[in-house]
Structure 1
């Protein structure tokens, strides 16, 4: 009875410490693994002596296995195949060529600098080829880099975990059985990947089929069915071939996501919560089991090994794997820097240390200590500097990376076409069949549905878009839709056309900092749609220069107050953004605007152009060349 109470107390303290670390990390906006490691070491035998993971015995291995299965499944569930297609070449290279480069480079560094035997050196390298979604995904949620970079890093973290873990098992088998045929060892790698992939694909499809057709099952029970199915598939794969279950969980998650089950969002939220709990428990337990003395015994050679892994091996791997990609040098530099190791490295290293010790091999504790030192250094250095580096390289997603527009009227279609012409993604949502038909005729992506439907917002791509703007004819509805989008998806920029400032409304106090008023205050959507349909609106573009900047600002405000001028979009630092009513202009901003022009048929191409013809923006003279006196009902903006 006393032993069971000790284990109960151990697990309770572990969970409390793990969740506390998550809360503190969330408050300070730093990777949670930083505090998980600190709390685990502080509470372990070498610290306060509160936690003794050895009390769990083989139960620790069970907890590790089932938790890692949930973590990898959740990672696969969050992967979008359509987004992966944009970086498929680089991702494929990272999982294959990148793994080989890290294995060779890390092994040589560990041997020559860390003075480990070749076998132990390559075992270490096989353990650190993985980056891990347990660290990368939370990090990207805080840093919010542009979607292409985030997709590449998330895809690498999820897909390389099972590959790296299975590779490590193959290397361990080679060490334990030095007389084994190398070809058999290599075939074991592909056999595990193949078995895991087949079982995962079949199981993921079956889970999707069941969830779509079992309408009598409640949503809560469906979440548990997925969890039971996940662990069942994982165990089945493990029974057929050891370590193949890791690939099974990833593939099952990807297939279930591709099945587009109605409850997908609820399932992902449930699995996300389980993943946070699993990460918290695992990192606390595994770091508590770490001997501090073993870290100091490693010496400076091990530190230099990790530095070479971070500053030499990783950049070389990224340079080769992304050679023919469309990533720019800023994006490649960021990807080269972000490669923190996570729970898979820690858990597999802990299990290997036990196996090596049981088989009478020296170096098990050293391998575990070196892997944990790698986790600590990569997480602290890369995790704590990621936000600053992303801002310095200007690759944060706060700069527009596509738009979701509610309102498929003339103005909404115009904005969508401009984004599309500039290479940005754009999607329209409307409940009017005729308006959606017009958008389809202009080759625009459109959804005939209510924007209150979160599944439609997700299909439209709001999770990856930089901007959401609601611009129906009803201002109250626009504000509600914008607030709903903020609560469900938290896109970087949320705008709405509404008749009043939300700061003045008690109902909107919690949202006024997130939802911005679009374009100008009191914009009459219906009126400007009529202008566009009648050919009485002129599209223009102007740039704010340093010379006479104050005059330009004043002139712009005068034009806006006239009611005949609306700034729509703004180009800043090579990014296209929808203008907010409270926008603070900067030198170098290029403003795309609409001007009411009473002369008929001046802009036929806006309302009557063929869908295939490009939307051209007419270049007008500098704003300061226009006298302020011409700001009456029909401002005079004639061509020079």
Structure 2
């Protein structure tokens, strides 16, 4: 039931283009306190808290893996100010809102304030795609969420360490000693194990198929061992371990990161359903007017104050500061950590700790709904919606790719030609096309190119293996249906060839690079035709153009490339990009917008 509800809610959210966290919250509440179908305490018994604790440890380790310090240095002053100044201020103001708005005791309010620093990258990034914000405010919100994901958890862990030390030691000096010991042991353990794993991976001491199991086992071992020595130091240790590995420049890091993302999706779904179902009617009844006051204080006072102070003097216009202050949805990390530390605080004698999970759920639901429904109207009102249509990124500079890029530019589509060879970009430079000189798979490309500006990638070099590598690497970012490459020169089914499971979809109906080079540069091979009602019939168009290769359909200012088996859905007014047959006559001048029957 937990797996079906959690993964099902995430899939349904993807289908409906909604924040998954809202549907998971609804599913957990329906299955738990509303219907009683799922009672985690009865089902798991004493295993419930260890299961949640281990899941939170893996989630925080995943958060640490996203904190690349090199990338942080390259993000610009606004993001650094949001992390270095905004996070501590956010912690302070959220603590005050928890104390005076929700009425929590100081211990619970301090821990909860640290948790609320997190703004949830799993919620923010889909919202940014949906709203299509301009590049600069989108980058500030995106990087703040990514970097503050582990930072917020660290704030909560450190606050809890101090409170636990004070509760157990009795004197301030003893508490400071216990705190320093706990933080020191956790940091050293995370640092030592992280470096040991990096050393072993880099020198080939662990085979490829064992890297993920070794990493996963090490996370569990570090968490359990440090936590048994010093209570709650395990979460800090695994977060430090993740940060160390994120900055170790491992060759296999992308594969490790993708696997941990898959594991995290499963754990996030399970933990969220468990925590939502574990709420009882008494806890939900605690969400009174003070909970509403707390949410308003966070949304309207704490966040705007922290952002305005952090971004003062950065030169950002007030519109960008305003949307940064308004868009701050909390995510799964806030709920997971609140559920874990709430129970721990109750064990230490702080009864208000029991109020943390329902308050976290209420804040998450409120901020996700507010941000999700308002981001586009607010951005439009502030003039921050990007008016650019998603463009096409073409990897490979050659005469036919330049001809294709020119045709796309003529259709008023953003296009970029990328190649690591300066001389192969000569034709693109001569045509005054936007270009990128460098390795598209490098970190430099990540930092200098705004990938959000492009919706489709065409890997079109003369090297099939490299095209396959590029498409495989970018498929998770663009979506597998939006990465294309020319047909491979080798025969299908060749046991010695590249696996068919790798790479992108065939571009140009499966034509190879050599065939595209011959046909695309013979005269004016690429055609762009506007279709009337009769020409929008696909079978009739094919019959009228034997030997032609349809490439893409432009509809409503956006482009949809066609795979080998995709039957295009044509409508009157659409424009069809196609490659003429080798013996087709050249179109008359001005053929870009010429009707199809004039080509």
Q: TM-score, normalised by structure 1?
A: 0.63
Q: Does residue 152 in structure 1 map to residue 143 in structure 2?
A: yes
Task: Summarize the alignment of residues 547-626 of structure 1 with structure 2, pairs less than 5 Å apart.
Answer: none
Q: Which runs of 5+ in 1 are unaligned?
A: 1-12, 416-423, 500-508, 514-520, 529-576, 581-628, 633-640
User: Once structures 1 and 2 are overlaid, which stretch shifts more, 402-411 or 147-156?
Assistant: 402-411
For the 8 Å contact 2:131–2:379, the answer to whether it is kept is yes
Task: Summarize the alignment of residues 396-475 of structure 1 with structure 2, pairs less than 5 Å apart.
Answer: 399=388, 405-408=394-397, 428-430=418-420, 435=424, 445-447=437-439, 456=441, 460-461=445-446, 464=451, 466-467=453-454, 470=458
For the 8 Å contact 2:67–2:243, the answer to whether it is kept is yes
CA distance, structure 2, for counterparts of residue 293 and residue 457 of structure 1: 53
User: Match for residue 209 of structure 1?
Assistant: 199
1:299-336 deviation digits (Å, cap 9, x = unpaired): 21221121111111101111112224364444433332
CA distance, structure 2, for counterparts of residue 170 and residue 60 of structure 1: 22
CA distance, structure 2, for counterparts of residue 242 and residue 251 of structure 1: 16
Measured on the aligned residues, the alpha-carbon RMSD in Å equals 5.3
User: Once structures 1 and 2 are overlaid, which stretch shifts more, 188-197 or 244-253?
Assistant: 188-197
How many Å apart are 1:288 and its aligned residue? 0.9
CA distance, structure 2, for counterparts of residue 235 and residue 211 of structure 1: 23
CA distance, structure 2, for counterparts of residue 101 and residue 72 of structure 1: 22
SS at match of 1:58: helix
Task: Summarize the alignment of residues 265-280 of structure 1 with structure 2, pairs less than 5 Å apart.
Answer: 265-280=254-269
User: Match for residue 190 of structure 2?
Assistant: 200
CA distance, structure 2, for counterparts of residue 279 and residue 330 of structure 1: 34
1:560-609 deviation digits (Å, cap 9, x = unpaired): xxxxxxxxxxxxxxxxx99x9xxxxxxxxxxxxxxxxxxxxxxxxxxxxx
Aligned length: 500
For the 8 Å contact 2:194–2:244, the answer to whether it is kept is yes
1:193-236 deviation digits (Å, cap 9, x = unpaired): 555444334333332332233277243x2211121122223334
CA distance, structure 1, for counterparts of residue 305 and residue 364 of structure 2: 20
Could you say if the C-alpha distance between residues 129 and 355 of structure 1 is closer, same or farther in structure 2, counting changes exceeding 3 Å?
same
How many Å apart are 1:436 and its aligned residue? 8.1
For the 8 Å contact 1:110–1:305, the answer to whether it is kept is yes
CA distance, structure 2, for counterparts of residue 190 and residue 143 of structure 1: 44
Could you say if the C-alpha distance between residues 155 and 52 of structure 1 is closer, same or farther in structure 2, counting changes exceeding 3 Å?
closer
How many Å apart are 1:473 and its aligned residue? 8.1
Task: Summarize the alignment of residues 132-281 of structure 1 with structure 2, pairs less than 5 Å apart.
Answer: 132-133=120-121, 135-136=123-124, 139=127, 146=135, 148-170=139-161, 172-173=163-164, 176=167, 180-181=171-172, 195-214=185-204, 217-219=207-209, 221-239=210-228, 241-281=230-270
For the 8 Å contact 1:14–1:281, the answer to whether it is kept is yes
CA distance, structure 1, for counterparts of residue 416 and residue 590 of structure 2: 33
1:408-448 deviation digits (Å, cap 9, x = unpaired): 46999999xxxxxxxx9988335x696489999xx97423x
CA distance, structure 2, for counterparts of residue 26 and residue 363 of structure 1: 36
Q: TM-score, normalised by structure 2?
A: 0.66
For the 8 Å contact 2:61–2:238, the answer to whether it is kept is yes
User: Match for residue 60 of structure 1?
Assistant: 48
Could you say if the C-alpha distance between residues 234 and 88 of structure 1 is closer, same or farther in structure 2, counting changes exceeding 3 Å?
farther
For the 8 Å contact 2:67–2:147, the answer to whether it is kept is no
Q: Pick from 335, 357, 364: which aligns with 1:375?
A: 364
